[in-house]
Amino acid sequence: MTLQERLAQPRALLAPGIYDALSALMAEQAGFEALYLSGASIAYTRLGRSDVGLTTATEVAETLARITERVSTPVIVDADTGFGNALNVQRTVRAFERAGAAMVQLEDQTFPKRCGHLQGKTVEPVQAMCGKLRAALDARHSSHTLVLARTDALAVEGLDAALDRAEAYLACGVDALFVEALRTPQQMQAACARFAHRIPLLANMVEGGHTPVSSAAVLGDLGFRIVIFPGGTARAVAHTLGGYYASLKAHGTTEPWRQQMLDFDGLNGVIGTPELLALGQRYDEGSSGTKGGG
């Protein structure tokens, strides 16, 4: 099933955050129907830095390609501002499409952008963003590569302006909308009332962020069609690593932590080492077969 077909269903689509092939593989094994690759998670894990526009399009595309080579679950990928003007957006969309993106998200912040739940954001003019969105739609080779338009205007211009921006982006022909950092249930209801019956609307759940955190079922009842928990994975991993390293430093051994970790065989089972070795053995056994003639 394509992402487009899945979004045609009334049930909200829950997409967990991922940041590399291992996190994507484990999310796929858990049964999720879509995955979300955020620029923030790439900054956290590849750079050990904050989400303040430090990642590049190349770094995101490389990360995405490694993920889609390993898993078949559709990936929604965060393209930030498109990494430049409309021409840069076209190059970004083509690169992400080649890397296997099912949906490319573009936002209307100025560059360098920052996390949607940090203070101090600025947004570019509506017409400039509309030009970028039209460029993105023209750049994709397949209509199955979806384009998601995000507005960060709520914190800068207020709710009404943010909804009006989303309306303008909808008119460009995008496939989904994302009004970032809605702050109250009333604001979430207002966004759904205006758009949910017309286009898939995304809800962004950030632990400790501005938007009230709810379940996918509750958000689906409100009208949201896509629910993401983009940074929760990196926060959970950071919390776990903090405990693991503290224990190892204190005890000089991993023994006190053994019940909270996979052993050697357990991890190899997750990543499919036995199957990979069996595949290699099959090719080794076939190496003595007939050779192609000239």
Fold of 3-231: TIM Barrel (3.20.20)
The alpha carbon dihedral of 206, 81, 112, 188 has a sign of: negative
State the Cα–Cα distance between residues 50 and 41, nearest whole angstrom. 9
Which residue is it, tokens 């080779």?
A: 141
Q: What predicted TM-score, i.e. pTM, was given to this entire model? A: 0.94
State the Cα–Cα distance between residues 238 and 246, nearest whole angstrom. 12
**SS3 assignment, position 177:** strand
Selection from 39, 71, 73 nearest residue 56 by Cα: 39
pLDDT in tens, the chain (294 residues): 899 999 999 999 999 999 999 999 999 999 999 999 999 999 999 999 998 888 999 999 999 999 999 999 999 999 999 999 999 999 999 999 999 999 999 999 987 776 656 676 799 999 999 999 999 999 999 999 999 999 999 989 999 999 999 999 999 999 999 999 999 999 999 999 999 999 999 999 999 888 999 999 999 999 999 999 999 999 999 999 999 999 999 999 999 999 999 999 999 999 999 999 999 999 888 665 545 444
Under 8 Å between Cβ of 89 and 108: no
Under 8 Å between Cβ of 205 and 228: yes
State the Cα–Cα distance between residues 37 and 109, nearest whole angstrom. 18
Under 8 Å between Cβ of 26 and 269: no
Domain boundaries, the chain: 3-231, 238-284
- CB neighbours of residue 22 within 10 Å: 15
Under 8 Å between Cβ of 189 and 222: yes
State the Cα–Cα distance between residues 241 and 247, nearest whole angstrom. 10
